[in-house]
Chain A
Amino acid sequence: MRVTRYEGAAAGAVALMVLAFGAIFFHAPTDWLQGPVQRIFYLHVSSAIAAYGCFAAVLLGGLVFLRNESYAADRWARAGALVGVIFTTVTLVMGSLWAKKVWGQFWVWDARLTSTLVLWIIYSGYLLVRRLAEPGRQAARIGALVGIFGFVDVPVVHFSVTWWVTQHPGPVVVNDALPPEMLATFLFTMLCTIVLAAVLVVIRYRIETLRDAKQVLVEPAKVVSAHQPEPVR
């Protein structure tokens, strides 16, 4: 059986994640204050960073589409949005589990948690718009605009812990607050998570390409009209 490069990349990404879990559970020391639950940190923060990257792809894809109507850019944006929502979900769920243990409740309404939830809602809305809008130029244009406006929330999420007083802790990595083993484990997990996100985006891009190609075969009239040049004003 021949392994496609997508299957190879997926297997590689999964293997890296297994290694990352090994580092999280066997290399990183147990936090003296919080105990083993602190190990959630590695995947929780890495997923958030991977999600930022995915949403940056949505922003760039949208800008490129608005500039030169590149449907490939639009497919990158679609792929980025879906994978970004998945990683934001992972961040929220893992964060809630960690919060239950250390704060005593799953959710508090502080700026970081609220803005992350808003981020999740914005990009879930993006995915919904893509389903409801007429496929082709209309959906791509609307998606591009929603993706550009939605990205405003990414810096808000990131800097919320600096701008407001939050229960969520502030940055620990850039502040040198981690011992070397923890820092190494975090950086390795972050790298593996970013690779996983990138592989998922590439696979999703391939699926979107096949789906667009199928749409041309099934609904030729609609897609042809969507690609028509703009009338000269």
Chain B
Amino acid sequence: MNPFRVALAVARKDLLSEWRTREMVPALAQFIVLALLIGNFGFQINSRNAPSIAPGILWLALVFAGLYAFGRTFAAEKEQASLEAMLMTPASPLAIFAGKALAASALLVVCEAVLLPALSLFFGTPFSGDVVFAVLLATVGMAALGCTFSAIVARVRARELLLPLLTLPLWIPFIVAGGQAVQSAMGLPGSYDQAIGLLIDFDILFVVLTSLAARFVLDE
């Protein structure tokens, strides 16, 4: 079986299921708008301090939206015991894992498509290709790690509690580098290129590591 076709089929299945129920994306989009609203009242934002506060709100909203999106990836399969059925097919666990990660990242990208213009609209920060590129690069590594830990904790009780505890510390490199890139793209001091280089390094590291671990993560 061609692993790429398996991955695409799994991703298509997850996205189709989301399209039919339309549960997660509207909920996440609403969550993001609420996060911006809370940010506005928590910080007293004006046109002068917006570029220094908006990146923080962006990453907070993205991180918590991501936790929810990736947490659901395997929890839903667990509830219906459909992951076991998929693993009994000749498809490789890595291809299945890649498909699930692809679908979850696609959902997060849809959320980012709401978040980034909304941030610009509400706080007046620049909405540039540099910001989009940095956020998309961070999404790759965050998706790889988020899906890994989502699969790991799917079988544990209190998984809602554990997923953030395990995932957030390992997401910090992406928030550090992504934060620097977005700040620099919004006109604050800091090297954009250096931050993007770091993001690419972390992406490669964690995508390779999660690919190696996928067999153990899914194998029950």
Contacts and interface: CB of A to CB of B under 8 A. Distances in A.
Nearest to A118: B169
B152 A146 contact: yes
B166 interface: yes
Contacts, number: 62
A128 interface: yes
B155 A152 contact: no
A66 B215 CA distance: 10
Contacts of B152: 142, 145-146
A148 B215 CA distance: 14
Nearest to B213: A145
A53 interface: no
A interface majority secondary structure: helix
Contacts of A146: 152, 166
Interface residues of B, number: 25
Contact of B162 (A128, A144, A152): A128
Nearest to B166: A125
B205 interface: yes
B156 A145 contact: no
Nearest to B164: A125
Nearest to A139: B156
A152 B209 CA distance: 10
Interface string B151-177: 011011110011001101110110010
Given A118-B172, A125-B165, A128-B162, A149 B213 contact: yes
Contacts of A144: 216
A34 interface: no
B73 interface: no
B148 interface: yes
B interface majority secondary structure: helix
A129 to B, nearest CB: 6
A132 interface: yes
A138 B216 CA distance: 11
A164 B158 CA distance: 37
A28 to B, nearest CB: 35
A66 B216 CA distance: 8
B54 interface: no
Contacts of B157: 132
A125 B164 CA distance: 10
A138 B155 contact: yes
A122 interface: yes
A121 interface: yes
A66 B176 CA distance: 31
A152 B170 contact: yes
Contacts of B169: 118, 121-122, 125, 150, 153
B156 A129 contact: yes
Interface of A: 66, 114, 118, 121-122, 125, 128-129, 132-134, 138, 141-142, 144-146, 148-150, 152-153, 156, 233
Given A125-B165, A142-B153, A153-B169, 14 more contacts: A114-B172, A121-B168, A129-B156, A129-B166, A133-B156, A134-B156, A138-B155, A142-B156, A149-B213, A152-B205, A152-B206, A152-B209, A153-B170, A156-B173
16 contacts: A66-B216, A122-B166, A133-B156, A134-B156, A138-B155, A138-B156, A142-B155, A144-B216, A145-B148, A145-B216, A149-B148, A149-B170, A149-B213, A152-B170, A152-B206, A156-B173
Q: Which 8 A-B pairs give the minimum distances between C-beta atoms?
A: A125-B165, A121-B169, A122-B169, A133-B156, A118-B169, A125-B166, A132-B158, A142-B152
